[in-house]
Amino acid sequence: MTKYITRRIFYMFITFFLIATATFFLMKALPGSPISSASKLSPTQLAVVEAKYGLDQPIPVQYAKYMLNLAQGDLGNSFQFKNASVTDLIIDRLGPSLILGTQGLVLGVTLGILLGMIAALRQNTIWDYGSTFVAIIGISIPSFVFATFLQYWLAVQWELFPVALWKDGWMSSVLPSIALAMGPLATASRFIRTEMIEVLSSDYITLAKSKGANGFEIAFKHAFRNALIPLVTVLGPLAAGLLTGSLVIEQIFAIPGIGEQFVKSIMSNDFSIIMGTTLFFSAFLIVVIFLVDVLYGIIDPRIRLSGGKD
Amino acid sequence: MKHDLQKPPASSFERIEIDSSHAERISKPSLSFWQDAWLRIRKNKAAIVSMFILAFIIIMAFVGPMISPHDSETQTITHANLPPKVPGIEKLGIMNGVGTLAGKEVDLYEMKKVDTYYWFGTDGLGRDMFSRVWEGTQISLFIAFVAALIDMVIGVAYGGISGYYGGRVDDIMQRIVEILYGIPTLVIVILMLSFMDPGITAIIIAITITGWIGMSRIVRGQVLKFKNQEFVLASRTLGATDSRIITKHILPNILGIIIINTMFTIPTAIFFEAFLSFIGLGLQPPDASLGTLINDGYKLIKFQPHILLYPSIIISLLMIAFNLLGDGLRDALDPKMKD
């Protein structure tokens, strides 16, 4: 176990290092710089500004500096937002994104588990088909299409919720959370359904039945708990999906979160923010996938973590 | 009537001759793998319906712009922002050219003195949405198919080489995959797109750059499973070359899984293309895909919902149909792998 974790952490650092390096050089190779599009500067002024941001130094030096700062958690300064530190900008924007992500995940996974359980316990009935239908819709319809329709019907037409912006407190988080929840809901319900069906046909369920345990006890105490374990494995892809979703959904509902800032910074070529956010997203996903793998080994003793080969 | 069960009369038995030379004759026609799969998928209603929907959308993507009376690029400013109007259906009270103007329902066709029909309405520049939607579908499908094909070729080659040759080759190739696998797809796609000139090629490269990894892992696992089985060993003993073993023995066995995987890559590629176009990193005008059309429609959602409606319906139908067909194929081609 310790050996496995050490190995995985080692790989995490290599992956992160490669991402940081690739991001840096891709950003340097970008045509245009944030300064060139900002204003009409004379060559002298341009030189002064470039010197201020260290853009006049050779690229290897800039790279070494960036990596050294990165190791200390300093992601550089933004060109766009009055020279603010990128780390601060990310932390400022973290709140709304975290709230939406958590609400979406919790709502989606809870409803998904419920739907999946109903489908498995009432296999091949109208309940089952209904839940499968919802799951297919949730997987298939792109989140931004779903979000725009939520916004159009519930906010613009019926005026139940605020259309956009993050100022009406909890009410403004409802629609974006529902839009984000669709993916996790679909994944969780399909997953739980197949797991439950498999568990329900296993020997220990037959034994529980022959002992005279009632249906409720079998469903929750025996089947559900064992079906839940493998759900941990999809948390990694779900987190990645939530991130992807947050980019468009924050845009649609004008939420001042990280995703919205990321998309804006791409448009304005603000490469310290692009890099900072990219690295933040990567680190987040790498850590989530790692935690999921380790957690899975801990909660299900049948899985032995070893070489990591499949 | 009473029978003596102890001593039945000899006439109650009849001798049936069995021709032992026919003992091994197979009474039913033997089915090939594909015939068997077809029999199974034919029973899956969802998959069959999906097949028809897909066929319809694909045909319309090519025929649609041709049968529309209007060109997709002609801008007729006097015909801008018209709601849909279809001859025949207009009498039912839907798609009759009535739109909201300043809070009141008016027949915009009458008001603007337009005497032709725009089946899906027009956009802000007076372009026919019907032709635009189907041409966008064409581009989205093209990107998705090419991306899925490239993913398949690279994935099968990489996974196949890694699994078949094994040893040090496998070790090195798998370490590379392990590192690449840790890089979030979204991040790499966005980085690649901000680096390359936007366009169809850029999107295809961005989608395929990490897309092949999933396929390569599956193919490697399958090759590892098959390469040590007895029939491969027998073939090798008889002097078969590597290329013969790969093409005649291993590839046919893993073809089903390759097809299933490709079927699921297509909707993912459609989604990514639309996603990128929606956040503004995808195709640039005048090119239009379903994603850019949805993006255009989204900006006008409050006033011209029809511009958003049709591309959204098409993309949702495409995604649902590909996913259901993929599910059906998985059940048909690989009954053991049911979810």
3-state SS track over chain A: CHHHHHHHHHHHHHHHHHHHHHHHHHHHCCCCCHHHHHCCCCHHHHHHHHHHHCCCCCHHHHHHHHHHHHHCCCCCECCCCCCCEHHHHHHHHHHHHHHHHHHHHHHHHHHHHHHHHHHHHCCCCHHHHHHHHHHHHHHHCCHHHHHHHHHHHHHHHCCCCCCCCCCCCCHHHHHHHHHHHHHHHHHHHHHHHHHHHHHHCCHHHHHHHHHCCCHHHHHHHHHHHHHHHHHHHHHHHHHHHHHHHHHHHHHHCCCCCHHHHHHHHHHCCCHHHHHHHHHHHHHHHHHHHHHHHHHHHHHCCCCCCCCCCC
Report if residue A248 sits inside a domain.
Answer: yes
Domain containing residue A148 = 93-258+288-299
A141, A251, A310: residue with CB nearest B316 = A141
Across the range B320-339, mean pLDDT stands at 76
Q: Both B330 and B269 in a single domain?
A: yes
Q: Both B105 and B188 in a single domain?
A: no
Q: Is the pLDDT of residue B142 over 90?
A: yes
What DSSP designation does B30 have? P
Report if residue B4 sits inside a domain.
Answer: no
CB pair distance less than 8 Å for A247 and B194? no
CB pair distance less than 8 Å for A142 and B315? yes
* Portion 306-335 of B in contact with A at CB < 8 A: 308, 312, 315-316, 319-320, 322-324
Report if residue A2 sits inside a domain.
Answer: no
Per-residue pLDDT band for A300 (boundaries 50, 70, 90) equals low
Report if residue A21 sits inside a domain.
Answer: no
- What span, in angstroms and rounded, lies between the C-alpha atoms of B243 and B247? 6
Across the range B166-180, mean pLDDT stands at 83
Report if residue A166 sits inside a domain.
Answer: yes
Tokens of A303: 């899985």
Report if residue B333 sits inside a domain.
Answer: yes
Q: Both B112 and B136 in a single domain?
A: no
The verdict on B191 touching A (C-beta cutoff 8 Å) is yes
Residue numbers in A near B298 (CB within 8 A): 144, 148, 252
Query: CB B286: neighbour CB atoms within 10 A?
Result: 8
Q: Both B169 and B302 in a single domain?
A: yes
- Domain at B220, CATH number: 1.10.3720.10
Across the range B142-155, mean pLDDT stands at 93
Total-model pTM:
0.80
Q: Give whichever of A293-302, B75-84, B166-175, B179-188 has the largest mean pLDDT.
A: B166-175
Report if residue A35 sits inside a domain.
Answer: no
Q: Both B179 and B105 in a single domain?
A: no
Give the mean pLDDT of chain B. Answer: 81
Sign of CA pseudo-dihedral A248, A251, A253, A258: positive
Report if residue B160 sits inside a domain.
Answer: yes
Report how many domains make up chain A. 1
- Domain at A126, CATH number: 1.10.3720.10
Report if residue B54 sits inside a domain.
Answer: no
Q: What pLDDT was estimated at residue A307?
A: 43
Q: Both B256 and B321 in a single domain?
A: yes
Looking at chain A, the whole-number percentage of residues with pLDDT higher than 90 is 1
Least confident stretch, A29-38, A124-133, A223-232, A265-274: A29-38
Report if residue A153 sits inside a domain.
Answer: yes
Q: Is the pLDDT of residue A103 over 70?
A: yes
Q: Both B166 and B109 in a single domain?
A: no
Report if residue A82 sits inside a domain.
Answer: no
Q: Is the pLDDT of residue A310 over 50?
A: no
Report if residue A151 sits inside a domain.
Answer: yes
Q: What pLDDT was estimated at residue B157?
A: 92
Give the CA dihedral B163, B169, B173, B174, nearest 10 degrees.
60
Q: Both B92 and B194 in a single domain?
A: no
- What span, in angstroms and rounded, lies between the C-alpha atoms of A144 and B89? 30
Per-residue pLDDT band for B295 (boundaries 50, 70, 90) equals confident
Domain containing residue B97 = 62-127
CB pair distance less than 8 Å for B179 and A149? no
What DSSP designation does B107 have? E
- Closest listed residue to residue B70, CA positions, set B127, B115, B27: B127
Q: Both B107 and B152 in a single domain?
A: no
Per-residue pLDDT band for B93 (boundaries 50, 70, 90) equals low
Instruction: Indicate the SS3 state at residue B106.
Output: strand
Per-residue pLDDT band for A309 (boundaries 50, 70, 90) equals very low
CB pair distance less than 8 Å for A263 and B308? no
- What span, in angstroms and rounded, lies between the C-alpha atoms of A100 and A242? 9
Q: Both B110 and B216 in a single domain?
A: no
List, for residues A257-279, the tens digit of each pLDDT value. 888 888 888 777 777 788 888 88
Looking at chain B, the whole-number percentage of residues with pLDDT higher than 70 is 86
Q: What pLDDT was estimated at residue B238?
A: 92
CB pair distance less than 8 Å for A240 and B185? yes
Q: Both B140 and B279 in a single domain?
A: yes
Report if residue B30 sits inside a domain.
Answer: no
